[in-house]
Structure 1
């Protein structure tokens, strides 16, 4: 089927009390793995491209691969821009065929973030594209942050209420203790903060940096209103580990298919696991 928007997927997730998995892609094998896993689990799925993916593969390759994968799949597939950095880039992605975009103004002041998000919404809404925004700072795991500093980075519930009221954004990414990349320890989510924010904003909440967060914590967050869960690092880990095993078993292997085939299967398996954790299996 054609690529779909994210708003409708999250609306159904809200009604059903589950979350839709948003999986990062940057090459053909991972694009294929995302849709194969979604098909196998009969689940809606969000394929998303980051700055790095667009730089690596090129926006036209990403859009074309996602569109083709969706057309060959019977479950709903959306294509989402992950962490869009500028109005110009969002417009480029919309023109290219992305059905959903994220504008990340989290490093800006609240007023400037609202201004930028509203500008993006004006363009996206005109063509039926979903918009996600971010409030609070979701760090990288290399950041050396103390507990007090960590709390300062978290999303302020009252600011979230103002932000959503002023913008009317479709979904909101918040900072409650996750981080991008590989965790050094086990992350502890601020579920009380999540519950407070959800009660004030009423829209679907997005959890970034979810690779490495324990399944029970993810389920608890979904129970409190998270409707989109982003996964990237876990896919990379499974993909590269499978390819590495092939090379370790046969260091003289020169056929990329012999490495990337098992890597794709490993990615399918981890994505299927995540879909079941999110509760979106059999929700297509």
Structure 2
């Protein structure tokens, strides 16, 4: 059994100078491909169920899917709730077998964010699992603008919530389809100087690969969330499979053809976060 918590995989990353991929899942096909990629790279992986995934599949079902994959994997696998917005949603994820809860109170005033995140962290820790919080709102490509993380507020947030990981806003944006953004490294350094908690970058698809690799090795950023670029790989593979035979209608045979391309894309992501080249 290789089901572990977020703390279990991020502390070694923090101490040894690498990052772990928080790979955003939407269903069985990508979950399975991500675990296969992690096994091929011999590294841990964090399987993340975000709001879009949960809108499609109920949390209890997702929990069983993630736990099944983890329990049969040869590498550590975290079953992670991504962007939980309420206490009840986080509690349901805990009851459904998730081993890590990410509570997103980043739109709230600092005091409210601290109070509510601390409640989630306490609930998680009492059950032996982990909690990730967010300080500084990370915006969306073509949508809400980001509000950058204040290093002094980050220090207060980390100290008062007791989170196992802290997501920060340092130029990262969700749903970017290119890698032309780049992160604010002086702000990252200031946040790191103020706290020792493992740091998390949401919207990692928009971060240039070379910067991801450098930050994974040289900073306390221990987790990059990667979704968009892997969804793009899945979409391309699915289109190729459908277009290759317009008469084919069996979805299982079609979806099988997404596995190898998505696994290959995920392997590159995971390899780079370990500081290796994508050759």
The TM-score range, normalised by the shorter chain, is: over 0.9
Question: Could you state the TM-score of these two structures normalised by the residue count of structure 2?
Answer: 0.94
What residue number does 2:196 align with? 202
Measured against aligned partners, the alpha-carbon deviations of 1:128-181 in whole angstroms (never above 9, x if no partner) come to 110000011111101375xxxx6xx11000110111111121110000111111
- On the 8 A contact 1:5/1:100 being kept in 2, the answer is yes
CA–CA separation in structure 1 for the residues paired with 2:63 and 2:186: 38
Q: SS state of the match for residue 101, structure 2?
A: strand
Q: Alpha-carbon deviation of 1:184?
A: 6.2
Indicate the SS of the match to 1:79. strand
Q: For residues 21-170 of structure 1, what are the structure 2 equivalents within 5 Å? A: 21-143=21-143, 153-170=147-164
| Alpha-carbon contact 2:134-2:167 (below 8 Å) kept | yes
Residue 178 in 1 paired to residue 164 in 2?
A: no
- In structure 2, how many angstroms separate the alpha carbons of the residues matched to 1:172 and 1:56? 27
* Residue of structure 1 equivalent to 2:235: 240
Higher alpha-carbon deviation: 78-87 or 117-126 = 117-126
Listed as ranges, the gaps of 5+ residues in structure 1 are none
Asked if 1 retains the 8 angstrom alpha-carbon contact of 2:178 and 2:205, the reply is no
Q: Which runs of 4+ in 1 moved over 6 A?
A: none
| CA distance in 2: counterparts of 1:86 and 1:144, whole angstroms | 20
- Separation (CA, whole Å) in 2 of partners of 1:162 and 1:246: 50
Give the Cα–Cα distance (whole angstroms) in 2 for the partners of residues 119 and 60 of structure 1: 22
State how far apart, in whole Å, the 1-side matches of 2:178 and 2:78 are: 32
Find the aligned partners of 1:92 and 1:224 in 2 and give their Cα distance. 33
Of residues 8-17 and 57-66 in structure 1, the stretch that sits farther from structure 2 once superposed is: 57-66
Q: Contact conserved, 2:24 with 2:227, CA < 8 A, in 1? A: yes
* Distance in 1 between residues matched to 2:64 and 2:126, nearest whole Å: 22
> In structure 1, what is the equivalent of residue 259 of structure 2?
264
SS at match of 1:211: helix
> Offset of 1:54 from its aligned partner?
1.4
What SS does the aligned partner of 1:75 have? Answer: coil
| Paired residue secondary structure (2:175) | coil
Q: Which has the higher contact order (CA 8 A, sep 6+)?
A: 1
RMSD of the alignment, in Å? Answer: 1.5
1:250 equivalent to 2:236? Answer no
Return the alpha-carbon distance in structure 2 between the equivalents of residues 247 and 116 of structure 1: 46
- Distance in 2 (alpha carbons) for counterparts of 1:162 and 1:144: 25
Q: From the superposition, tell whether residues 180 and 50 of structure 1 become closer, same or farther in structure 2 (CA, over 3 Å).
A: same
Cα distance in structure 1, aligned partners of 2:65 and 2:9: 21
What does 1:222-233 correspond to in 2, within 5 Å?
222=216, 223-233=218-228
Does the 8 A contact of 1:2 with 1:67 survive in 2? no
Q: What SS is found at the alignment partner of 1:101?
A: strand
When the two structures are aligned, how many residues end up with a matched partner?
A: 275
Cα distance in 2, alignment partners of residues 220 and 65 from structure 1: 33
In structure 1, the residue corresponding to 2:200 is in which secondary structure?
A: strand
